[in-house]
Amino acid sequence: MIPKDSDCIFCKIVSGEIPCAKVYESENVFAFLDIAPVCPGHALVVTKGHYPTLLDIPEEMGAELTAALKAVGNAVIKATGAHGLNLMQNNHEAAGQLVHHAHFHLIPRFTDDGLELWPQAPYENNDEMTRLAADIAAMSG
Ligand code: 5GP
Ligand code: ZN
């Protein structure tokens, strides 16, 4: 039984209740163009089921999702003539997630397109990096 949320815009897109520019479909995965693209060809790959974030998606969907990301990613590059591709994935509002149905952004990139995706800075002290690495390793293993 595929989970659905009757208030979710992506569930409505997957079911056909809201129209979309569909580009791909497999048993559990669906893809369409973002209505407000970073640049033309920006696609969204979603699970057909309603899982709020990536962290909620069943692990057994991993191979099918990876296949969809590769197929749509390669097609976006070919169709747009892009030189590269960003895979973006937001989880929870603090990370910029507006639609609470797990999805991946596939964004075509061009040499010198000037898009700055995120600022970075080195750790201020190495102890913090070592402590965080130990904590994350312990909690993910
Ligand atoms: P988020 O910020 O949650 O990672 O991204 C949600 C994305 O969904 C946004 O980039 C937004 O433009 C896109 N979006 C929201 N509503 C619709 C819609 O009705 N149709 C399509 N095609 N994209 C949508
Ligand atoms: Zn949904």
Pocket flag, ligand 1, residue 94 (CB < 6 Å)? no
Q: What radius of gyration do the chain's Cα atoms show?
A: 17
To test the pocket of ligand 1, the residue of 92, 99, 107 to mutate (highest count of ligand atoms within 8 Å of its CB) is 99
How is residue 86 written in tokens? 């960003």
The model carries a pTM of 0.96
- The Å distance, Cα 136 to ligand 1 centre, comes to 31
Q: In degrees rounded to 5, what are phi and psi of residue 5?
A: -130, 115
- Residue 35 contacts residue 48 (beta carbons within 8 Å): no
* Per-residue pLDDT reduced to its tens digit, 24-74: 999 999 999 999 999 999 999 999 999 999 999 999 999 999 999 999 999
Indicate the fold that domain 9-139 takes in CATH.
HIT family, subunit A (3.30.428)
What beta strand segments (E) does the chain contain?
Answer: 22-25, 29-33, 43-47, 84-88, 103-109
Q: In degrees rounded to 5, what are phi and psi of residue 67?
A: -60, -40
Pocket flag, ligand 1, residue 98 (CB < 6 Å)? yes
Establish whether 103 is a catalytic residue.
Answer: yes
* Per-residue pLDDT reduced to its tens digit, 88-119: 999 999 999 999 999 999 999 999 999 988 88
What's the DSSP call for residue 61? G
pLDDT band at 1 (very low <50, low <70, confident <90, very high): confident
